[in-house]
């Protein structure tokens, strides 16, 4: 099974990914993490400074990184992916790539109904590492003020300008809307209310995955009956 999760910052994306990975025993592809790793290699070192300065990588580079990742994993095992695609162009690139290998995206889960205020409240209670730039919820931090991954100094996101966050949220909605339509037209979209509790959100995803499976089976037998 090939699943993609899309949601705004603060929507619980990584938590839901982890639950899906554990439940279905699927490999996990966090594209943000894959890109961070790629930037440590010689091949992509030229782009390290760009990203550190807060610039986005050119699409072409991102696609190169993802292509080489896809080429190095066993697609038969399926995967759960987050952090990609961000645009319709990227979404159709994945479809073409997977199709060329005999695979397809099975479902795309959209974490919906996250109002700007809910996102702001969740994000601003988090801490970010000044060194590795990873973000942590308060309960993930064991040593106060220190990054659980690299021991770098953490800073309070409350210091961030709210307007910066508001822009990120706006940008997410602007970018994700056409992507959602794209997957809706392909009949692979699962939309869930992500403002609920973690377990409720996850149950809703499972429920819809199950329904889809049942629909597929009944459609298949219907087709068969008609022949």
Nearer to Zn ion, 132 or 220 (CB): 132
DSSP state of 141: -
Cα–Cα distance between 40 and 45 in angstroms, integer?
A: 6
The pair of structure tokens assigned to 5 is: 């999760």
CB of 149 to Zn ion, least distance (A): 5
Q: Quick one: 1 or 141, whose CB is closer to Zn ion?
A: 141
* 46/149 with CB nearer Zn ion: 149
Cβ 74 to Zn ion shortest distance, Å: 30
Vertex 40 angle, CA 36 and 46, to 5°? 100
Q: Which is nearer to Zn ion, 88 or 137 (CB)?
A: 137
Cα(41)–Cα(48) distance, rounded to whole angstroms?
10
- β-pairing, 154-156 vs 127-129, is antiparallel
The nearest distance, CB 192 to Zn ion, in angstroms, is 30
Tokens standing for residue 91: 């979404």
Q: Can the peptide bond before residue 85 be classed as cis, meaning omega within 30 degrees of 0?
A: yes
Output phi, psi for 192, to 5 deg: -125, 155
Burial degree of 204 (CB within 10 A; 0-12, 13-18, 19+)? middle
Residues forming the site for Zn ion (CB under 5 A): 129, 131-132, 147, 149-150, 152
């Amino acid at each position: 099974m090939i699943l993609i999760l899309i949601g705004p910052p603060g929507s619980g994306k990584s938590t839901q990914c982890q639950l899906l990975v554990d439940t279905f025993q699927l490999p996990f592809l966090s594209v943000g993490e894959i890109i961070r790793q790629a930037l440590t290699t010689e091949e992509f070192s030229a782009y390290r400074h760009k990203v550190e300065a807060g610039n986005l990588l050119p699409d072409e580079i991102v696609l190169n990184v993802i292509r080489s990742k896809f080429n190095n994993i066993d697609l038969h095992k399926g995967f759960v992916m987050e952090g990609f695609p961000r645009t319709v162009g990227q979404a159709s690139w994945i479809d073409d790539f997977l199709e060329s290998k005999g695979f397809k995206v099975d479902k795309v889960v959209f974490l919906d109904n996250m109002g700007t205020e809910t996102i702001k409240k969740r994000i601003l209670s988090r801490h970010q590492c000044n060194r590795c730039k990873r973000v942590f919820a308060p309960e993930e931090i064991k040593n106060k003020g220190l990054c659980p991954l690299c021991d770098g100094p953490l800073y309070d996101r409350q210091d961030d300008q709210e307007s910066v966050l508001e822009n990120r949220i706006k940008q997410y909605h602007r970018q994700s809307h056409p992507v959602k339509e794209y997957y809706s037209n392909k009949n692979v979209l699962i939309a869930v209310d992500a403002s609920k509790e973690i377990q409720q959100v996850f149950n809703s995803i499972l429920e819809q995955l199950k329904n889809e499976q049942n629909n597929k089976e009944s459609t298949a037998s219907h087709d068969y009956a008609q022949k």
